[in-house]
A and B are shown apart, each in its own frame.
Chain A
Amino acid sequence: MPTNDKDIIRAMREDAEKGFRLLMKSYKEPLYWHIRRLVVSHDDAQDAAQETFIRIFRSFGQYSEANSLRAWLFRIATNEALRLLGRQKNVTMLSLDDVTADMLSAKADAYYDDDDAIVARLQKAIQRLPAKQQLAFNLRYYDELSYEEIAEVTGASAASMKMNYHLAKEKIIEYMQKKD
Chain B
Amino acid sequence: MEKIFYFEQVGKRMPYTVPDGFFDKMEEDVMLDVKAETAQPKRRKKARTIKIAIRSAIAVAAAIALFFVVRSTLPKSEPVLASADDFASVELAFNNLSTADQDFLIAVYEEDEFINVLTNTEDYE
The interface of chain A, by Cβ under 8 A from chain B, is 16-17, 20-21, 24-25, 28-29, 32-33, 36-37, 40, 42, 46, 49-50, 53-54, 57-58, 108, 111-114, 116, 118-120, 122-123, 141-142, 169, 173, 176-179
> B15 to A20, Cβ gap below 8 A?
no
> A141 to B7, Cβ gap below 8 A?
yes
Q: List 29 A-B contacts (CB under 8 A).
A: A17-B31, A20-B31, A20-B34, A24-B30, A24-B31, A28-B23, A29-B23, A32-B26, A36-B16, A42-B16, A42-B17, A42-B18, A42-B19, A50-B33, A53-B30, A54-B30, A54-B37, A57-B34, A57-B37, A58-B37, A112-B16, A112-B17, A119-B13, A120-B15, A122-B10, A123-B14, A141-B7, A173-B5, A176-B5
Q: Does B113 contact A (CB under 8 A)?
A: no
> A116 to B7, Cβ gap below 8 A?
no
How many A-B pairs fall under 8 Å by CB? 86
Nearest neighbor of B13 in chain A, beta-carbon distance: A119
Interchain nearest-CB distance for A170 vs B (Å): 12
Nearest neighbor of B25 in chain A, beta-carbon distance: A46
Report chain B residues within 8 Å CB of A46: 22, 26
Q: How many residues on B have C-beta within 8 angstroms of the other chain's C-beta atoms?
A: 27
Interchain nearest-CB distance for A122 vs B (Å): 5
Q: Does B2 contact A (CB under 8 A)?
A: yes
> A114 to B15, Cβ gap below 8 A?
yes
> A113 to B23, Cβ gap below 8 A?
no
Cβ-defined partner of A177 (8 Å) among B3, B14, B22, B35: B3
> B16 to A108, Cβ gap below 8 A?
yes
Interchain nearest-CB distance for A26 vs B (Å): 11
Residue of B15, B17, B18, B27 contacting most chain A CB atoms (<10 Å) = B15
User: How many Å lie between the Cα of A119 and that of B16 in the bound state?
Assistant: 10
> A54 to B14, Cβ gap below 8 A?
no
Interchain nearest-CB distance for A104 vs B (Å): 14
Q: Does B29 contact A (CB under 8 A)?
A: yes
Q: Does B43 contact A (CB under 8 A)?
A: no
Q: Does B12 contact A (CB under 8 A)?
A: yes
User: How many Å lie between the Cα of A120 and that of B16 in the bound state?
Assistant: 9
> B7 to A177, Cβ gap below 8 A?
no
Report chain B residues within 8 Å CB of A17: 31, 34-35, 38
Cβ-defined partner of B3 (8 Å) among A57, A111, A176: A176
Q: Does B81 contact A (CB under 8 A)?
A: no
> A32 to B13, Cβ gap below 8 A?
no
Interchain nearest-CB distance for A129 vs B (Å): 15
User: How many Å lie between the Cα of A123 and that of B10 in the bound state?
Assistant: 10
> B38 to A16, Cβ gap below 8 A?
yes
> B16 to A28, Cβ gap below 8 A?
no
Nearest neighbor of A144 in chain B, beta-carbon distance: B12
User: How many Å lie between the Cα of A37 and that of B12 in the bound state?
Assistant: 12
